[in-house]
Amino acid sequence: MKLLIPVLFIIIGISSFVSIGSTSKKDYAAITWKDTLMADREKYINMYKDSIRGKENRAADSVFKNIKVLKGKSAEQVLSIMNSWGHALGVTCKFCHDMNDFASEKPRHYLQTREMFDMTNQLNREILANLKTFRQPVVMGCISCHNEMKEPPHDGPKTQGNGARPRPRN
Ligand code: HEC
Ligand code: HEC
C-alpha cells in the first residue's frame, strides 16, 4: 500500500505528460490555420475527405482530375495544402475554385496560384537556399508575403495622384 501511492503518482504523471504532449501537437496544426474562415473551409475539406475515404494515401493525381503543381503529394496532403493556401491568403475555397467543378481552370486565381507556387519554389531553391550569411535555412511560404491578405503590400509604382496605385484589375 505504501508503495502503491507513489507508483500511482508516477503513472498519472507520465500519462498526463503524454496526453499534454499529444494534444498540443494536434492543437498546433489547428491553431496555425485557424482564422474566421476556417469553419467554411473545413466544410469543403470534410466533404472531400468523405469522398476520398480509403484513398487518402494514394498519389493525388490518381484521385483528383487536374493535379499539376502538386504531383507527388498524396490526396490527403492536397486537402491540407488547400486549407493552408486559404489561410495564407485569408480566403475560402471559392476565391480560387469554381464551386461546381473544383478541377476547373477557369477561375483566374486558380491559375495565378499555380504560377505563385512555381515562383515560391524557385525562390526557395534558387535564391534562399544560397543565402550565405544566415545560420539557419531561410524558407518562404505563401504566408510569408500574403500574411492572410489576398494582395500583399507592394513597393512602387507609387500613386497616380488620386491615391490609386496602378496595377492590373482582378
Ligand atoms: C489560393 C487558391 C486556392 C484555394 C484557396 C483553394 N484551392 Fe484547391 N486548388 C487550387 C489549385 C491551383 C489546384 C490545382 C493544384 C495542382 O495543379 O496540382 C487546386 C486543386 C484542388 C483539388 C483537386 C481537384 C481536381 O479534381 O483536380 C481539390 C479537391 C481542391 N483544390 C479543394 C479545395 C478546397 C476544399 C479548398 C478550400 C478549403 C481549396 N481547394 C482552396 C487552388 C486553391
Ligand atoms: C514573395 C512574395 C509572395 C509569395 C511567396 C507568394 N505570393 Fe502570391 N502574390 C504576391 C504578390 C506581390 C501578388 C500581387 C498582388 C496584387 O496584384 O496586388 C500576389 C498575388 C497572388 C494571387 C492573386 C491575388 C489577387 O487578389 O489578385 C494569388 C491567388 C496568390 N498570390 C497566391 C499565392 C499562393 C497560393 C502562394 C504560395 C504558394 C503565394 N501566392 C506566394 C506575392 C507572393
For residue 112 and ligand 2, the question of a CB distance below 6 A is answered with yes
pLDDT digits (tens, 9 = 90+) for 128-151: 999 999 999 999 999 999 999 999
- pLDDT of amino acid 153: 82
74 beta partners: 59
For residue 91 and ligand 2, the question of a CB distance below 6 A is answered with no
Contact 45, 53 (CB under 8 A): no
Q: Above pLDDT 70, what percent of the chain? A: 71
Query: Which pTM value belongs to this model?
Result: 0.83
> Of 22, 38, 18, which is closest to residue 30 (Cα–Cα)?
38
**Residue 15: is its pLDDT beyond 60?**
no
Please tell me the residue having the least CA distance from ligand 2 atom 42.
145
Q: Please state, in angstroms and rounded to a whole number, the distance separating the CA atoms of residues 142 and 8.
A: 48
- pLDDT of amino acid 33: 64
Give the pLDDT band of residue 83 (cuts 50, 70, 90). very high
- pLDDT of amino acid 129: 96
For residue 165 and ligand 1, the question of a CB distance below 6 A is answered with no
**What does each C-alpha distance from 112 to 97, 106, 118, 165 come to in angstroms?**
12, 11, 10, 20
Q: All domains of the chain, ordered by start, with CATH?
A: 30-146 (1.10.468.10)
Cell numbers 518562404 correspond to: 140
